[in-house]
Amino acid sequence: MLGKFSYCNPTRLYFGEGALSALALELPKYGKRVLLVYGGGSIKRNGIYDQVVASLKACGKEVFEDGGVMPNPTVEKLYEGVRRARDCQADLILAVGGGSVCDYAKAVSISVFCDEDPWEKYFIRFEDAVQKTLPVGCVLTMVGTGSEMNGGSVITNHAQKLKIGHVFGDRVFPKFSVLDPTFTYSLPKHQMVSGCFDIMSHIMEQYFSGEDDNTSDYIAEGLMRSLVHSSVAAVADPHDYEARSNIMWTATWALNTLIAMGKTTDWEVHMLGQAIGAHTDATHGMTLSAVSLPYYRHIMSYGLPKFKRFAIAVWGVDAAGKSDRQVAEEGLAAMERWMKSIGLVMHTSELGVSEDMLDGLVESTLVMDGGYKVLTKDEIREIFRQSL
């Protein structure tokens, strides 16, 4: 049965083609100074930057810029962002980009009024933000993380070989997010499919925990089926609006806390992937795709009923005359075929991982206890070895 829970999600979403016009409704709610946060400059090439700045100017805002947010935002960039926000006395942070930009904006928002090192406070000691925070709004240009409707933020510390995420309370959720599927059309295929697997991994991290028959798992199964169908369609035609919109909407619901309600959740795949990211700076979704099958094959026997259900409900495996293990294995094989069909990275060696890095990766991997098996260091090392 579902456990007890309290659910709140305060983010207002504006979804669909032309949704950027909603800035005219939201921006007047905040003060004059806006810190505009974005990534490497693609929004200037595709015209989204000009549209956003025009909206800001039309609402009488004074715009200060913080560009150059990298795909795996670093602690050094966080410190820089805090300085910028303080110097301009920002009233609102507007993040325009993908999940990394949104994550970074939230990290800055909780750190501006923090009187100690935010890395130590939030990402090492995992304390919550109790002091004042800056409001954040998002204009999404790449989907995958669900950061547009949650309190999560992931920051990388290369010196410490750590990539750590912290899920903050609902005060840190974006106040509003603009989701226009057409803004994702210009993404390279590599980034699009990476985002698709990030979505899939988010759902599986929550799905593969517990064995109860509950609403959250039924929702998760529907989301996964939708994602598989739409990802194939989007690879075939990157301008397929229906596919792109379904992927975008699925990404939001995959990690806005809804399907985690009343369940334990795993997140060990993310810990494995983030360890790789800390050592190689590889694309996040691809680190997840490279370790997922070795991990799930390793833990499958500990949660066999759910893996059997996954095979039947998501992949349409016919269970007639087969053992539970055979059905579960066929489900993972079907997932593997889908992963290969859309062009995901299947081995960590493709990301720059080598055998001599395994000890360091093991030390960088946080061990979680919400899934079917709490891993030992030897098991983590073997999963990384199998992923090569």
Domains of the chain: 12-183 (3.40.50.1970), 189-387 (1.20.1090.10)
CA-based nearest residue to 64, from 43, 39, 85: 85
Which residue in the block uniquely carries the two structure tokens 């990298």?
A: 70
The tokens describing 363, both together, are 């030390």
**What are the tokens at 46?**
């595709």
Torsional class of 114: left (φ above 0), alpha (ψ -120 to 50), beta (otherwise): beta
Question: Looking at residue 365, what DSSP letter applies?
Answer: P
Read off the pLDDT of residues 310-358 as tens digits, 9 standing for 90 and up: 999 999 999 999 999 999 999 999 999 999 999 999 999 999 999 999 9
Closest among 202, 219, 81 to 149, alpha carbons compared: 202
pLDDT at 212 over 80: no
What's the maximum distance between 2 C-alpha atoms anywhere in the chain?
Answer: 68
Average pLDDT rounded to a whole number, residues 220-227:
98
Q: How far apart are CA 246 and CA 229, in angstroms?
A: 10
Q: What is the mean pLDDT of residues 23-49?
A: 95
Average pLDDT, rounded, for the chain: 96
C-alpha span between 136 and 91 (Å, rounded): 9
| Sign of the Cα pseudo-torsion (237, 243, 244, 248, in order) | negative
- In this predicted structure, the answer to whether residue 93 has a pLDDT above a threshold of 90 is yes
Task: Report the pLDDT averaged over residues 92-96.
Answer: 98
First to last CA, the chain: 39
Question: Looking at residue 270, what is its pLDDT?
Answer: 97
Looking at residue 119, what DSSP letter applies?
I
50 burial via Cβ count (<10 Å: 0-12, 13-18, 19+): exposed
- Cβ-contact 268, 375 below 8 angstroms: yes
Per-residue pLDDT, 387: 98
Q: How far apart are CA 22 and CA 139, in angstroms?
A: 10
The enclosing H or E element of 90 equals none
**Confidence label for 130 from pLDDT (cuts 50, 70 and 90):** confident
CB atoms within 10 A of CB 267: 20
The pLDDT tens digits for 57-89 are 999 999 999 999 999 999 999 999 999 999 999
Q: How does pLDDT run across 274-302, given as a tens digit for each residue?
A: 999 999 999 999 999 999 999 999 999 99
Residue with tokens 């950027």: 20
Cβ burial, residue 236 (10 Å; 0-12/13-18/19+): exposed
Other beta carbons less than 10 A from residue 208's beta carbon? 25
> Would you state the pLDDT for residue 262?
87
Instruction: Specify the pLDDT at position 366.
Output: 96
CA distance 80 to 67: 11
Least confident of 103-107, 164-168, 189-193, 335-339: 164-168
Give the integer Cα–Cα distance in Å for 35 and 323.
57
Specify which residues 136 forms β-bridges with: 93
| Average pLDDT of the segment spanning 200-228 | 94
pLDDT at 1 over 70: no
> What pTM, to 2 d.p., does this model score?
0.95
Distance CA 95, CA 116 (A): 24
Amino acid 6: pLDDT: 87
Helix and strand tally (H, E) in the chain?
15, 8
